[in-house]
């Protein structure tokens, strides 16, 4: 990763750079630093991931397990989608929980959808190997794929931060921490 925030663009734009726009939500559900990053494809599909500032991705954290059982009656693993119009999908609101991450230090984190739409799939690869989530949070370690309604494809990003806005929030946070320490 570039150490200089003003580094030249990487020689090769990544897959994410080429096809997706990054949107952010900071302090999701009021929980400090639990930042999410939503990758929005040009075809309106959204991939929900953890932002690099999320506690789970900080060094020293070990994930014990991940669960998609978000309530007694609802498991995101049971989501079944059929046909071109994705019938049968669980419908998500912005605050809908996607999964719970249990860490070895006893901390528990809930990942939320942040966008409204139909749940396409959750990432089963991180169930079997949680470390992928920390190694490649923006690609193989994604949490879920959500398909917003066609009419809402533009409006879903209204409550989210652009890359630039997110970076400003990060700067403010660091300054605030520095100030209080």
Partner 1 sequence: MFPLTKESKCVARLLLNTGTCPRCIFRFCGVDFHAPYKLPYKELLSELQKFLETEKDELILEVMNPPPKKIRLQELEDSVDNLSQNGAGRISVSQDGSIASKNSNLNVCNICLGILQEFCEKDFVKKVCQKVEASGFEFTSLVFSVSFPAQLSVREHAAWLLVKQEMGKQSLSLGRDDIVQLKEAYKWITHPLFSEELGVPIDGKSLFEVSVVFAHPETVEDCHFLAAKCPDCFKPAKNKQSVFTRMAVMKALNKIKEEDFLKQFPCPPNSPKATCTVLEIECAHGAVFVAGRYNKYSRNLPQTPWIIDGERKLESSVEELISDHLLTVFKAESFNFSSSGREDVDVRTLGNGRPFAIELVNPHRVHFTSQEIKELQQKINNSSNKIQVRDLQLVTREAIGHMKEGEEEKTKTYSALIWTNKVIQKKDIEFLNDIKDLKIDQKTPLRVLHRRPLAVRARVIHSMESHYVDEHHFRLRLKTQAGTYIKEFVHGDFGRTKPNIGSLMNVTADILELDVESVDVDWPPALED
Q: Edge-to-edge strand order for the sheet containing 63-67?
A: 63-67, 97-103, 108-112
70 is an interface residue for partner 1 by CB under 8 A:
no
Q: Decide whether 26 or 47 has the Cβ nearer to partner 1.
A: 47
132 is an interface residue for partner 1 by CB under 8 A:
yes
Q: How many helices (H) and strands (E) does the chain have?
A: 4, 9
Interface segment toward partner 1; rule CB under 8 A; list 38-46, 65-73, 94-102, 165-173 = 38-46
Pattern 49-68, partner 1, x by CB under 8 A: --------------------
8 is an interface residue for partner 1 by CB under 8 A:
no
Interface segment toward partner 1; rule CB under 8 A; list 58-66, 68-76, 135-143, 166-174 = 135-143
Q: What is residue 54's DSSP assignment?
A: S
Distance (Å, rounded) from C-alpha 65 to C-alpha 102? 5
With CB under 8 A as the contact rule, the residue among 103, 120, 127, 169 that binds partner 1 is: 120
As a whole number of angstroms, the longest Cα–Cα distance in the chain is 55
- Is 109 in contact with 56 (CB distance < 8 Å)? yes
Interface segment toward partner 1; rule CB under 8 A; list 1-9, 41-49, 60-68, 156-164 = 41-49
21 is an interface residue for partner 1 by CB under 8 A:
no
Residue 62 phi, psi dihedral angles, 5° rounding? -120, 135
Least Cβ distance, residue 43 to partner 1 (angstroms): 4
127 is an interface residue for partner 1 by CB under 8 A:
no
Q: Which residues, in sequence order, are CB contacts of 117 under 8 Å at separation 6+? A: 46, 91, 92, 146, 147, 148, 149, 152, 156
Q: What is residue 56's DSSP assignment?
A: G
- Interacting residues with partner 1 (CB under 8 A): 12, 14-15, 19, 41, 43-45, 47, 81-84, 86, 120-121, 123, 125, 132, 136, 139-140, 142, 145, 147
């Amino acid at each position: 990763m570039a150490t200089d925030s003003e580094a030249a663009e990487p020689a090769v734009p990544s897959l994410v750079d080429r096809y997706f726009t990054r949107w952010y939500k900071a302090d999701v559900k009021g929980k400090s630093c639990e930042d999410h990053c939503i990758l929005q494809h040009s075809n309106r599909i959204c991939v929900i991931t953890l932002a690099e500032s999320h506690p789970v991705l900080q060094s020293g954290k070990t994930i014990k397990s991940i669960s998609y059982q978000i309530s007694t009656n609802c498991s995101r693993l049971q989501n079944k989608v059929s046909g071109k119009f994705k019938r049968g999908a669980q419908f998500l609101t912005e605050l809908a929980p996607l999964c719970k991450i249990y860490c070895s230090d006893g901390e528990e984190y809930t990942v939320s959808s942040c966008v409204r739409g139909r749940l396409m799939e959750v990432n089963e690869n991180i169930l079997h190997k949680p470390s992928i989530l920390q190694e490649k949070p923006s690609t193989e370690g994604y949490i879920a794929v959500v398909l917003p309604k066609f009419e809402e494809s533009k409006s879903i990003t209204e409550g989210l931060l652009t890359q630039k806005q997110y970076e400003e929030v990060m700067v403010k946070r660091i300054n605030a921490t520095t100030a209080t320490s």
